[in-house]
Every structure is written in C-alpha cells, then in structure tokens.
Amino acid sequence: MGERLVVISDDQQITNQDLNNIGAYARTSLDHVVKDGIEPGKKFTGFSVVQSGPAQVTVGSGRLYVDGAVYFRDDEGGVVLDLINALPAATNKIVTIVVWGQAVDTALEPRTFLVDVDTEQTEARSVATENRRYANVNTVSGIEAADPTPPAIDANVLAVAYIRLTPGGIESVTMVTENRVVSTRAVADRTASLELWRNRTGSRLDVLDTTVTGIQSALRGIAPKTLVLEMARDIGRLKTSAELPETYTSYDADRFLTDDKSDTVHADFLAKVEEGIRFPPAAQRVAQLALANPIDPAVDVRSNFVLPAFTEAQRVRIDGNDSELSLSQFQFQTSQLKKLSRSRTRIRYGSSMTVCTNGAWWNTGTYDPSTRIFTRNGETFYVDLTIDNYWTAPNHIFARVTQFWTDTYEEEYWGYVDVTEGVNGSLIAQTFLNSEAGYISGLDLAFTRVAHTGDVMVGIVRTENGKPLLDKVLAMVTIPATDLKVYPLKTRVPLVPTYLEKGERYAFFIVTAGNHFIATVNGNKNAQGTLFYSTDGAFVQGDLTRDIPFALYYAEFKTPRLEVALQPLVLENGISDIDLNIDTTAPNGTLITPEIQVNGVWSPLAQYQQSLLVGLPPLVNFRVVLTGTTDVMPGFGIGALSEVKTERPRSDLRHISTARTLPAPCDTIEVTTRLEYWDDDRHTCVIKLRTGAGFTTIVTPDAVVDEITPVPGTILRRATFNLGVAVSSYKMQIEGTTDNVLVVYHVAERYDLAFS
C-alpha cells in the first residue's frame, strides 16, 4: 500500500536509504489517507481522563491526529498527573489537560558496524532502531476566580479535558468532546438516521413551510390584546367622567405628547416636552456610540453595525447549468429602489424618567409615536398612511417604569427613514423561502459569460404574494465587472449581514447594463422560488420553467453571549439621565442589554435597577451585552446609526403654550394641571396667563385649588382667572421648581376652560 514503492532489482546492492524509504513511503501515504479522508485538522481519540485521587487524575491511552499524522500514547496504567500544586487558594480554578505530538527516535539496541573495509574490523554500537510519533500529555492552569474560565492554550496543543478544582481538590472532570475525532462509521450511522428521518418527515415539513407562511401573514396587523382592553376601559371612564357642561363656550386640553401646542421658540420658554412637561437639561452631551476597541476581534463591524464575530455557513444551494440567460435581452430601464433601514430601540434611564399617565395615549391613534420617539439628529421621518397602518402603531412596544423607559419597534426593518436610489439596466429576480431565521451574509451566482464592462448590482428584497418588492430593499451591493467569474467558478456577492425572518419569502435581484449571461436550471429545481423578469420597473409574471442556481450563506456565531465594551459616558458635573437611541436588530429570543459600571460593579439599565446615578457620576464605563444563540444573535449600530445623550436637569422650568383663540371673547379662564410625582415639601408650581398685545401682560390667578387624586403623589391644581375684561386669545404659562434635581415632577396634562 502506498503512493510510492521502493523497487529492488536482482543482484542490486541495497543502501540504508532504500530500506528507510520502505517505511517512510508507507508512513507518508498513510498520512495522506488520514488527512484527506478522516481528519485534516487536530483531533484526538481515547485519552480518557478519570479521577484517581483527591487531586490526581489518570489519562488513558489514546491517539492524536495532527494534519494527517497520528501520534500515540500507550503507557501501561496510563499517565498519572498530580494537581496538588495547582489547587486554588480560596475560590475555583480550571486546569486543562492538553496533548501534543513529537517524533522521537527510540528502542536503543546494540548493532555491529564495519569500521575498516580492508581489515573487516567491526565494533558494536547502541543506536535507535525505531522512530515513534509520541503523544505528550501535560496540564495548563487557568486563573483562580469565583467563576473561572479555561486558560488560553498554545495553538500547537489540543485540549482533551477540563478539570475544575476547588481548594479541597477535584470538583469535576469534563472531556472536550468537540475535539474528539468522529469515525466514518459514526458519520455513516448519523447520515442513515438523517435519511430515514427525511424520508418520513420531509414531505410534512414541505407542507408546514407553506402553512406557517400563511399563518404569519394572517396574524400580521391584528390589534394587540392590551390595546383592545385599554380602549374598552378608557371608553367606560369617559362616559362617566367627561360631563362637559353646555354653558362652557370653549375648552381645550394638551397631554404634552407632542410640542404642537408649546411655544418652543419663545425667548422665555424653558422646559422639555416629553410625555409631559419636564425640567429642561442644565447640561447635555450628545454623542455617537463607539467601540472601546475599534479592532476588537470578538465583534464584526460592517457599515457601522455591530454583530458578534461569526463564520459563514451555507444553508441553501441550487446547483446546475442547464442553460444560460442573457441579461441584456431584457428591457434597459430605470428602476427606483427604496432601501429600508434597521428599526430602532430607545432606552432612557435616570431620575427624570418619571412615568406619565399619558403614555397610554400613544395607542389612541391621535399621535404617531415612531416619529416622536425614535427621531434623532433632527431627521425627517417619511410617513406612508398606506403602509403598516402606522396610526395604530402596531409594531411599537413601549414600557414605562420609574427611572426606566424602553421603546422597541418589533419589525427588524422599517420605511420611516429610507434611501431611494435610481438604477439603470436590465432587471431580473429570483425568490426563495427562508425556512430558518438568520443573518444572510452573502450568496454565490454563476455567470456563464461575462462582458468587459457593466457593473452588477445585487440586493435582497421582501416579497408580497410571492412577487419581489423593489420598494422594500433590505440590502444591496455593487459588484464590479472585473470581479465577475465565469462558470464553473462562482461569483461571491458579499452582503452586510441582514436578518431574514423564519418562514418568510424573499428574493434577490440582479441589475446590470452589461452584456452578461447567467446560468439557469430547468424543471423548477428550486421548488420554493420563482424566476421573475422586469419591464418598466415592475416585475411581470414569473418563469415557472427554470430558476437561477445560487447558494446562500448565513452567519454562524462563535458564542451565544458577548460583552461589547463601548466608549464611556461622560458629562461635566455629573450624569442623572442616559438616553440611548440606536439602530437594533433583536429577533425573538435575543436580548440587547446596556450596562454601566458604578463603583466597580456592572449593572444593567433595567427597570429593577433603581438609583444607579444617584451620586451624579461625571463618567461611567459603558458596555452592551448581546445574548442569543449561535444561529441568531442581536446587533446594534454605532457611529451614525446611534445616539446617546447624557443629561442633568435644571431645578426650574417655564412652559409657555401657543396662542389659544376663542370662538367668542370670555372674561373667566380656568386652567387645570395634573401634577405627578408631586411633593409639597420640595416642589412648586405656578400657573399664569399671558394676554394683551404680543401676549406680554402676565396675569396671576385669583384662586388656586388643589384636588387630591386616588393616585399617590398626584394632584390636580386648578387656577381661576377673573379677568374683568373679555379676551379673545391668551397663552398659558406654567412655572415650577424643585430643591433637588434628582427629585423632580412632571405636568402630565393641562385643561383650560373659557366662559363668561
């Protein structure tokens, strides 16, 4: 057996090299067989590790496979390793049992050597008669800790087992099964089991794909149960509590969810309108999120979007080249592509985040919470009333707890902020069913003929009724004509990792002005997709007789949990509030948890964490913890895809309304405010009117009455103004103070009634 054979002819004198080659050729051939057919990397078999004493283990016989070479260890009774010197002093430690290979000359035996040819004098020498590939066994100690991790090991060694030690001895022995070699028999048995399972359940799963897609489509847009219950409860309250007297000639209200009724440009305006009137910031710093280590190997950053580091795995593959399709045969046209952006998460934490009862009004359909809550840097949101029925905010999930507010948009991509791009060329597309959730990171295409010019744009789009939608582009990239490869070579299309939902149908499109040809396969080999052509910027009926062959690559993450260190948060003279507004992708089952370090302890910005910033620290270390699975992890934006504000409020506020114009002049005005988180000993609130020319005359109330509500810390303050002279318009001014910027209140609502 062997790739090479030593040939010895009759009457030939044999040299030492000839004899040594007999073994060397066989060893080399066996190395190639092991490397090519069994294991090209570094694996082991055997080396069972058992505890043989309180701080002692015994490593059994085994073999180590390294790049095709096989090293062995067959000591009788095994290798005994004493770990007494590695025991931790107080907590825990992990020791790794490692093996590595070494070729050694051994088996010393006496042999006779000719020292003088003429006299035939000989002498005896002890020489090595055997060359062994020997497997060494040793330990590598980790660092002592309450929650220890395995130590870092050299690339030349292989971990066999982890030994967890306590001060009293060995606590557990865990074999590193992922480093164990898998026999071809085991692979064959697993393959046979998979084939049997596929034959039994494959047809059922094919039907389930269609069923699940139908169910998800049917559920989309259904009103959440919480919204229905809140509407039913509030309608009941309104029937008994409205009681608006017919003698009132005019009335109005402002819940301060927007600043539409606030005169924010007035020189004396000094307030923040954010789900109520609040104390404005005395100091504020706006910054973009940035990695503490821009070259952190644990993360993958593309287009300012951070994901844990990953490798690519192929999930879908359609092979073949039954015929070719000329892309230039289709109409040259200008197509308008609308690229969706990642949706956002906003997290606000701090003493100013008092819960306003008006938060429920976001669901009334009167306000658009997305454009009010998620806007940053003064950007413009594009609102399309025909898409997603945005008035009822079906995808906006918000929570309000004292010191912690969170707003999340359920859809991973939205059209509020989009980029429209016109492209010229011929356009085709191929749909496919995404059976498992994940991040698509690239695809392979097969071009049979390539022109010298004509770049190719490739993108991923959503579909509707199985047809690609050019106004819902999730990702796109341009491949220069010089980078196109000719079949059988595949052209790799790299994509910014883009999350695709399970059970949804997507499409990739190809736009080019070049005379390129792409391979096709006949007989609809892609049973879950269709080839589409385009004319006049719209897709026509698909081609059911052939498909474009392709391969899809998805991200496989290296760890289900990752801590990403970011630049610290700072504010001169101290931070009381943190406001994060970042692009996120957080599929179901994953979590994005911001954490800050206070007094050396990392704590999440969560509803159960109260008073983390009570000492007004001027600087806090900051990180984000990503939790998910090796298939699906969350990600977040940095740079232009994020905004973080650090604030500290003033101790006074002044809110001025826009002008109220009455249907008829009135001389009596009543203004009622709802003050929440109110403390008589710490807070003040004064209601005034502005009248006259330019609204420069300030009028104080003739009477002020406080009404205690059933809600602790909430009062209704009613101010009555008897003007004596009827007015047709006025502005309302609310002034307030607090004696501690960490103990604030807010004005939840304001009602004004004008009558004579």
Is residue 468 within 8 Å of 529, Cβ to Cβ? no
Q: Which residue has the higher pLDDT, 494 or 128?
A: 494
Confidence of residue 5 (pLDDT cuts 50, 70, 90): confident
- The contacts of residue 261 (CB under 8 Å, 6+ apart) are 254, 657, 658
Query: How confident is the model over 219-232, as a mean pLDDT?
Result: 58
Q: Would you state the torsion angle of the CA atoms of residues 202, 206, 211, 212, taken in this order, to the nearest 10 degrees?
A: 80
pLDDT of residue 9: 81
Phi, psi of 730 (to 5 degrees): -165, 165
Q: Cis link prior to 568 (omega < 30° from 0)? A: no
pLDDT value of residue 365: 60
Mean pLDDT of the chain: 86
Indicate if the alpha-carbon torsion angle 472, 477, 478, 484 is positive or negative.
negative
Give the pLDDT confidence score for residue 119 in this predicted structure. Answer: 82
Given a cut of 70, whether residue 367 has pLDDT beyond it is no
Highest-confidence range of 99-108, 538-547, 704-713, by mean pLDDT? Answer: 704-713
Of residues 253 and 575, the one with the higher pLDDT is: 575
660-675: per-residue pLDDT in tens? 988 889 999 999 999 9
Q: What is the 3-state secondary structure (H, E, C) of 707-734?
A: EECCCCCEEEEEEEEEEEEEEEEEEEEE
pLDDT at 207: 66
pLDDT at 442 over 90: yes
Which residue bears the tokens 């991509």?
A: 413
Q: Are 718 and 675 in contact (CB under 8 A)?
A: no
DSSP-derived letter for residue 279 is P
As a whole number, mean pLDDT of residues 705-710 equals 91
User: The tokens of 82 are what?
Assistant: 């004493």
- Whole-number Å distance between alpha carbons of 238 and 232: 10
Alpha carbon 207 to its chain centroid, in Å, reads: 31
pLDDT for 460 equals 96
Q: pLDDT class for 527, splitting at 50, 70, 90?
A: low
CA–CA distance, 721 with 522 (Å, rounded to integer): 83
CA distance 413 to 584: 9
Q: Say if CB 437 and CB 499 are below 8 A apart.
A: yes
**Rounded to whole angstroms, how far apart are CA atoms 509 and 55?**
63
The Cα 328–Cα 451 span in angstroms is 11
pLDDT, position 407 = 82
Q: Where are the domains of the chain?
A: 50-63+71-179, 241-280+652-755, 282-308+558-649
413 beta partners: 342
What mean pLDDT do residues 556-567 have?
95
Whether residue 749 contacts residue 241, with contact meaning beta carbons closer than 8 Å, is answered with: no
More confident position, 401 or 712: 712
- Residue 161 and residue 174 in contact, taking contact as beta carbons nearer than 8 Å: yes
Return the structure tokens found at 748. 């939840």
Q: Is the pLDDT of residue 16 over 50?
A: yes
20-47 confidence digits (pLDDT tens)? 777 777 777 777 778 777 888 899 999 9
* 274/259 Cα distance (integer angstroms): 8
For residues 548-577, give the mean pLDDT.
Answer: 95
- Residue 686 scores a pLDDT above 70: yes
Q: Is 407 or 389 the better-scoring residue by pLDDT?
A: 407
| Chain-centroid distance, C-alpha 252 | 44
For 581-593, the pLDDT digits (tens) are: 999 999 988 999 9
Per residue in 238-268, pLDDT tens? Answer: 543 454 443 344 678 888 988 889 999 999 9
Q: CB under 8 Å to 528, separation ≥6 — which residues?
A: 209, 431, 432, 433, 505
- At the top level of CATH, the class of 241-280+652-755 is mainly beta
The string of pLDDT tens digits covering residues 119-146 is 878 888 888 778 888 899 999 999 999 8
Split at pLDDT 50, 70, 90, the class of 646 is very high
Q: How confident is the model at residue 224 (pLDDT cuts 50, 70, 90)?
A: low
Predicted confidence band at 389 (pLDDT cuts at 50, 70, 90)? very low
Q: What is the pLDDT of residue 241?
A: 44
153: which DSSP letter? -
8 A C-beta contact, residue 422 and residue 456: no
Segment among 230-244, 280-294, 375-389, 408-422 with least mean pLDDT: 230-244
- Global model pTM greater than 0.85: no
Determine the average pLDDT of the residues in 269-280: 95
Return the pLDDT at 111: 84
72 forms beta bridges with 63, 134
